[in-house]
Chains A and B, each alone.
Chain A
Amino acid sequence: LAKTTQPISMDSYEGQEVNITCSHNNIATNDYITWYQQFPSQGPRFIIQGYKTKVTNEVASLFIPADRKSSTLSLPRVSLSDTAVYYCLVGEYNFNKFYFGSGTKLNVKP
């Protein structure tokens, strides 16, 4: 499993765009990049998944450069309810063993 590196924590204010970057230098050709969000006392929740270039859904965007050694999760106009831990995970599309890492604790302030 490719290991990932993320900032331990980030602060933001309501209404701002937040970008969380994840490094995965050893990503394999078949690997996808998946982001999960976790609120206190809850299980992780899927946000977005991508392989290359850009993916967008109703919640976030995921930017992946051509070399795929990093990825950036973009959260538009965050609110207080986006305060959570965000995990970047790398593995095959059907991968069955997540390596969570430490995640990024995002703190959104009013």
Chain B
Amino acid sequence: EAGVTQFPSHSVIEKGQTVTLRCDPISGHDNLYWYRRVMGKEIKFLLHFVKESKQDESGMPNNRFLAERTGGTYSTLKVQPAELEDSGVYFCASREPNGGEQFFGPGTRLTVL
């Protein structure tokens, strides 16, 4: 069975540009999470989807970040406009509807120049 996949694996953009990250959860996993680690810091929670609904978006840093999960399958995280401090690794995770562990993807490394 395929794990959580993320695309792209690495993105390099200039400050002010827009970037969209994609996460494909494990099939059947209603719960989808986004996390990020900015340079030198700890992995931080961004938000949690249950199917297509945002259950908790308390970790989203500001309104330059927009997460969507139309149809309750894959999710996108758009950063617009990107700032230097957005550089880091963005992880996606998914979990079954009734509990169990969170399965993490390999992450997308975002570099904003």
Contact = CB atoms under 8 A, between A and B. Distances in A.
Interface of A: 34, 41-46, 49, 87, 93-94, 96-103
B87 interface: no
A102 B42 contact: yes
B56 A96 contact: yes
Interface stretch (B13-21, B65-73, B103-111): B103-111
Interface of B: 4, 31, 33, 35, 42-45, 48, 55-56, 58-59, 91, 93, 99, 101-107
A89 to B, nearest CB: 10
Contacts, number: 45
Contacts of B48: 96-97
B107 A96 contact: no
Nearest to A42: B106
A98 B56 contact: no
Contacts of B4: 43
A97 B102 CA distance: 10
A43 B42 contact: no
